[in-house]
């Protein structure tokens, strides 16, 4: 899949799937010219009929409920694998947004594109299988996404900070919290690069507990963070203990530090 492609922004229509999600909302702003479809408007698990052939598909539609996937593997497969297959069949280059969860977390240094995936969860496996459905386009792996809409860690912490004096947060998982606004903007840079796999995540790294402390500090919320282990949290899906992503490829987009993304996100939320 490593080959140049004609300018996908030069002519034709761009299709954006999953426009109702947090990444989709950011992509709508970064690509205002796109035909942006929410799940209600375009369910990728169903036959797709557009009435036109897109020049590019920004494929943000996905099953993102990591724990829910453990209980409904069929649903995750339909969304992440079969849905991607239907999108790829439209015949246009695809930007497929993948995840750090395709790795097992056994490394203690950042994962680069040449590292062998080894997902531990149903969600991670279906995202990796979805990558395999992309025959023409770019696979953009990112991590720990957060934004001003949807269900994400920043919004959850702000809600907890209003409701209680302390929050128990996992401190044995480490990654790169990535602001969807920065990822969406970097997608335009990705489109100027050769097709293939690209790691695009925020600079810096943190545990969830460290991220929570920063959220409360930046938002000036008086809430104490109590570090706990993944085992104590007791979630159904296994998580990679270390999933920091970096690119080992020349010319990869460089995103700002996650703390800068956090500040931008909080400004959007009015926090």
pLDDT in tens, 9-19: 656 799 999 99
Residue 237, pLDDT > 90, answer: yes
- Which residues are catalytically annotated? 123
Q: Name the nearest CA neighbour of 214 among 172, 153, 162.
A: 153
1 pLDDT exceeds 70? no
- The pLDDT, as a whole number, for residue 197 is 98
**If pLDDT is split at 50, 70 and 90, which confidence band does 271 have?**
low
Q: What is the pLDDT of residue 4?
A: 47
* Domains along the chain with CATH numbers: 14-152+177-204+239-257 (3.40.50.720)
**Quick one: tokens of 149?**
């809409």
Its pTM stands at 0.94
Confidence of residue 8 (pLDDT cuts 50, 70, 90): low
Question: What pLDDT digit, counting tens, does each position of 92-124 carry?
Answer: 999 999 999 999 999 999 999 999 999 999 999
- Render pLDDT for 193-232 as a digit per residue (tens, 0 to 9): 999 999 999 999 999 999 999 999 999 999 999 999 999 9
Output the pLDDT for position 245. 98
Mean pLDDT of the chain: 95
Q: Average pLDDT for residues 54-63, to the nearest whole number?
A: 98
Please give the C-alpha separations between residue 158 and each of 36, 137, 150, 215, 257, in angstroms, as whole numbers.
29, 37, 13, 8, 20
Per mean pLDDT, which range of 187-191, 216-220, 267-271 is the poorest? 267-271
């Amino acid at each position: 899949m490593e080959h140049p492609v004609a300018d996908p922004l030069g002519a034709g229509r761009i299709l954006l799937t999953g426009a109702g999600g947090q990444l989709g909302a950011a992509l709508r702003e970064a690509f205002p010219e796109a035909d942006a479809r929410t799940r209600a408007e375009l369910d990728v698990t169903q036959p797709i009929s557009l009435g036109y052939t897109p020049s590019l598909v920004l494929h943000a539609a996905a099953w993102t409920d990591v724990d829910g996937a453990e209980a409904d593997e069929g649903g995750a497969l339909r969304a992440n694998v079969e849905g991607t297959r239907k999108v790829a069949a439209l015949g246009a280059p695809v930007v497929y947004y993948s995840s750090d969860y395709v790795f097992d977390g056994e490394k203690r240094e950042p994962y680069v594109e040449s590292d062998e995936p080894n997902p531990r969860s149903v969600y991670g496996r279906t995202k990796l299988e979805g990558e395999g459905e992309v025959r023409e386009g770019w696979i953009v792996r990112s991590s720990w996404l957060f934004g001003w809409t949807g269900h994400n860690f920043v919004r959850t912490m702000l809600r907890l900070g209003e409701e209680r004096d302390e929050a128990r947060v996992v401190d044995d998982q480490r990654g790169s919290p990535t602001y969807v606004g920065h990822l969406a903007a970097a997608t335009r840079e990705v489109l100027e690069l050769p097709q293939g796999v690209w790691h695009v995540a925020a600079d810096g790294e943190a545990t969830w507990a460290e991220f929570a402390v920063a959220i409360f500090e930046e938002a000036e919320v008086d809430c104490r963070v109590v570090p706990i282990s993944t085992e104590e949290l007791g979630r159904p899906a296994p998580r990679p203990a270390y999933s920091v992503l970096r690119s080992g490829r020349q010319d990869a987009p460089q995103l700002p530090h996650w703390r800068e993304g956090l500040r931008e996100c909080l400004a959007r939320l009015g926090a």
